[in-house]
Structure 1
């Protein structure tokens, strides 16, 4: 089946997303493990990704856990150190597809406030033909509704979409809807898939 558009997740596909790494560097691995065991920061971030106010959500969580308040506020104050750096080979692939005339979409769990912070820092975020950002949509992966909303908006049959994401649950939902999928674990394997699909040649995919 040919591909009419390529759909990128952002976190850990185009932009590294490993908050634990920044916390390890700032408060130490042991204290970071204790924090993440006592406070579910990733669930807090899921609320932000579904449209909750970035600052208010973090500050409310800090207020609810005063013993960790300073560390929780880092999620807001140090956010650009949590999200990044970009993955250069992946961004080259995004740009190569656009040069080749292949439509490229973003389908990503990303908050309204966090995306607004990231866009000026990472120019590639403005280079998609269409953005489907969970915070703005009030929907998030892996729920089927966000995939259905994207299908309805772009008008491309599911079988003609090629989607890459690092999370198995997100890939499984897309595959169940008939999308072509690639579980992202390294840029080179993704480049190889794009070449195999005839979307890029080996030189463009380097």
Structure 2
């Protein structure tokens, strides 16, 4: 248990508030074997990193598709099917976000997300519009786990690492935050995150249900 409550709670978005599993979607559409061959030959996640750094997804997928014509249709699917990959909603996490805000605890987003795709996600998942502050990598032009993105949040919010508690599903992102003194929780599901928020005293068990 932390000795002092943080002054703000920071949520990652992908696989915390909404799903993010491109491989699962591709498996369903083109089959696991063909997906494995595609992902071995074409670094779609590296392309998506460029989106998260502020690049235009339509332009980036088109450019990659033209450069890799044998996988053209599958690469373009990253753009056309993006919202199907950013699914489903994780309702318990949304309830935790709202419960924290109902108690007057500021809740921030810190997420690797494109500019256009974040707008699409906000329309599909209204909970993403409810943060007190949003730190979205596409606008910041830096992605986790680069230390700069954490520093930018600290400077903008006026809070030190010790005054923040952060949950993310990726251990490298958590480790980078912890290196700056942030309180952290590795997200493996909303139940564990709820238990942490109750144990540390942010929410009661009823509020975290």
1:4 and 1:102 in contact (8 A); partners too: yes
| Per-residue CA distance 1:9-63 (angstroms, 9 max, x = gap) | 0011111100011111111111111100110101110110011111101111111
Structure 2 unaligned segments of length 5 or more: list them.
Answer: none
CA contact (8 A) 1:142 1:170 kept: yes
User: Is contact 1:54–1:112 with CA below 8 Å preserved after alignment?
Assistant: no
- Which segments of 5 or more consecutive residues in structure 1 lack a partner in the other structure? none
Give the distance between the partners of 2:18 and 2:173, measured in 1 at CA. 17
Separation in structure 2 between the aligned mates of residue 92 and residue 131 of structure 1, nearest angstrom = 18
- The CA distance in 1 between the partners of 2:137 and 2:6, in whole Å, is 24
Q: Is 1:57 aligned with 2:81?
A: no
2:54 equivalent to 1:44: no
Pairing 1:176–2:179 present: yes
* Runs of at least 4 residues off by over 2 Å: none
2:160 to 137, 157, 161: 157
- Structure 1 residue 28 corresponds to structure 2 residue 31: yes
Q: Distance in 2 between matches of 1:176 and 1:22?
A: 34
- Deviation by residue 1:151-181 (Cα, 9 ceiling, x = unmatched): 0000012101000000111001100100000
For the 8 Å contact 1:50–1:139, the answer to whether it is kept is: yes
- Give the drift of 1:188: 0.6
RMSD, matched Cα:
0.6
| TM-score, scaled relative to structure 2 | 0.97
Q: Deviations over 1:68-101 (max 9, x none)?
A: 0001000000111010111111111011111111
Aligned length: 206
Q: Equivalent of 2:195, from 179, 182, 192? A: 192
Q: How much has 1:2 moved relative to structure 2? A: 1.8
1:186 Cα deviation after fit: 1.1
Q: Equivalent residue for 1:6?
A: 9
The answer on 1:203 being equivalent to 2:206 is: yes
Instruction: Spell out the pairing of 1:83-122 with structure 2 (5 A cutoff).
Output: 83-122=86-125
